[in-house]
Structure 1
Amino acid sequence: MDNQGPTGGLTPHIAIADKRASEAIEFYKKAFGATENVRVPADDGVRLMHAHLTINGGSLMMHDEFPEYVDEPSGKPDGVMLHLQVDDADVWFERAVAAGASVVMPLDNMFWGDRYAQLKDPFGHQWSIGGPVKGE
């Protein structure tokens, strides 16, 4: 049985706290070279109801949190890592840090054969970056 949807794949859809989704979009453009595909403002004129970005060929959807529509506040992002498999981990890592990402795990050559690092963006979401070890 094929459980793949009409277009297939998996698209992360993240919530951004404190009415900062527009700021997050600009950060993702600087840090990860994101392309903004769509931005839909909410009726309040402050928050974003929906945004769709493309990063490294993949989709990322996001929105501002709407606590008035949920039973409990979501709290800080935890338990999910957004991974970017790239051609040059050093370039992607350095660009993200220069844009304001904080280093969780420094960039290094790993036993599984990737050059790999972990970062946290200013909105609390964790990212990992992996790429080929240089010279291989």
Structure 2
Amino acid sequence: MPKTPTFAPQLYIPNGVTNVDFYINAFGAVELRRFSNDDGSIHVSELSIDGAIFHLHEVTRNPASFSPERYNGTTTTIGLFVPDVDAFMNRAVAAGAEVLSPAQDYDYGYRQGDIKDPFGHVWMIEMVI
């Protein structure tokens, strides 16, 4: 159990998905644990990006499952701070992400860009400059 509060976003993926290698290839994520359904699809996958944990859940009929597919787009943007925005975004694009906003420097002291993963989730890749 963490000693300080930790966010762990719960992201929804379509039913029947068996492969989440995008996150491993694009973000260098490590799958910590997985609970699969009888057909091999992912019920829950817990991943970590340098200690930042997030979960992937399959979409169910539960109205609380906020999948991009159900809402015609994502319901939130996930901010991820990294040491090198450009390298990180290039790696994500090579793994299948779509650039929504190219990396650029902002007056408030951040370099950031937005990408969309293959499941429709938007990630703001950012760093302090």
TM-score class, shorter: 0.7 to 0.9
How far is the alpha carbon of 1:11 from its aligned partner?
0.8
Deviations 1:58-117 (CA, angstroms, capped at 9, x unpaired): 0011121123xx359850442211111011111111100111100110111111111110
Unaligned 5+ residue runs, structure 1? none
Superposed CA deviations along residues 1-49 of structure 1, whole A, max 9, x for unmatched, are: xxxx9763221011101422x32x200001100001001112x323222
Secondary structure at the aligned position of 1:95 is classed as helix
Q: TM-score w.r.t. structure 1 length?
A: 0.80
2:101 corresponds to 1:116: no
Residues 27 and 108 of structure 1: CA distance in aligned 2, closer, same or farther (over 3 Å): same
CA distance in 2, matches of 1:109, 1:52: 32
Give the percent of matched residue pairs that are identical in Structure 1 and Structure 2.
32
Aligned to 2:14: 17
**C-alpha RMSD of matched pairs (Å):** 2.1
Q: Which runs of 5+ in 2 are unaligned?
A: none
Higher percent of residues as helix:
1
Asked if 1 retains the 8 angstrom alpha-carbon contact of 2:36 and 2:43, the reply is yes
Distance 1:71 1:14 in 2: 14
1:83 matches 2:79: yes
1:104 to 85, 100, 104: 100
Whole-Å separation in 1 of the counterparts to 2:23 and 2:12: 14
Q: How many residues align?
A: 124
Q: Which structure has the bigger radius of gyration?
A: 1
How far off is 1:56 after superposition? 3.0
